[in-house]
Amino acid sequence: MNDVSLLLNLQALDKSIAYLKEDLSDTEISINDDSSVLKAQDIYSQISTVHDKVKKNQRETEREIQKLEDRKDVLETKAYSGGISNPKELSTLQSEVDNLISLIKAQEEILLSRMEETEKYEQGLSKALSQLENVQNNHAQKIITLQSRQTELLSQLSSEEPKQKAVREQCSSKILQIYDRVSKANKGIAVALAESDRCSECQLSIQTKILESLKTSDDLIYCNSCGRILLRDSRK
């Protein structure tokens, strides 16, 4: 097999290896991508922070109500113990008790609102936790699949790269320099087939004199449009 024909094999291997490396790179990026888990964790953390705040507000209101209740009980005990006979003093105590009752009712309304808010955030927190656990489980399963794919791609690369090296070693250094240069200039595709009178890559017509040279010359022949190295299509 001459150098020019070897280049077609080399190109097939180059393309295969390039695809494998691209796939491997994408796979490794996906393995390291835990953004879905971080997002779910952030949502859970935000809801948890607000939940703790509203729960704290609820407890503070409960304590305030208890303080008012305790104060009311003290005053009522004092008022009805029989130890105070002065009507004015009794009236003042009753007014204080009535004021405390009003304050307690106001705080109880606040407490009811805060209890409802706490319940809402408890439900949201439970939902966020469930979502976080689902995301974590899905991520763990995805990692297992991706790591299996990574292993498969590395195995394929370890098989293809020695073949690529072997073919390059069969080519002359001059031919390889040309091949690498043309490949770099044409997005990794250095060799094209002359299919009838058209280039298999750029699909443009090949000049007649180039087609004739392709039949008779042992030199490298290039497509007049895209500059790729031309080979006759031996499948015809």
* C-beta of residue 183 within 8 angstroms of C-beta of residue 14: yes
* Token pair of 186 as six digits: 């044409």
State the amino acid at position 12 in one-letter form: A
Closest listed residue to residue 19, CA positions, set 147, 156, 144: 156
CA separation for the pair 38, 133 (Å, rounded): 12
pLDDT at residue number 193: 93
Of 47, 32, 228, 28, nearest to 129 by C-alpha is 47
- Residue 200 near residue 233, CB atoms below 8 Å: yes
What is the per-residue pLDDT for 168? 95
DSSP for 43-109, please give it. HHHHHHHHHHHHHHHHHHHHHHHHHHHHHHHHHHHHHHSS----HHHHHHHHHHHHHHHHHHHHHHH
**Alpha carbon distance 60, 171 (integer Å):** 84
* Torsion 117-123-127-128 (CA) sign: positive
Q: How far is CA 60 from the centre of its chain?
A: 41
Per-residue pLDDT of the chain (236 residues; tens, 9 = 90+): 466 778 999 999 999 999 999 999 999 999 999 999 999 999 999 999 999 999 999 999 999 999 999 999 999 988 888 777 788 888 898 999 999 999 999 999 999 999 999 999 999 999 999 999 999 999 999 999 999 999 999 999 999 999 999 999 999 999 999 999 999 999 999 999 998 899 999 999 999 999 999 888 888 999 999 999 999 876 54
pLDDT at 121: 97
pLDDT at position 2: 63
Q: What is the pLDDT of residue 98?
A: 95
Residues in the chain: 236
C-beta neighbour count of 219 within 10 angstroms? 9
Q: What is the pLDDT of residue 84?
A: 77
Query: Other C-beta atoms within 10 Å of 188: how many?
Result: 11
Instruction: Give the Cα separation of 222 and 118 in Å (integer).
Output: 76
Contact by Cβ (8 Å): 84, 78:
yes
Q: Find all residues with CB under 8 Å of 57, minimum gap 6, and list them.
A: 114, 117
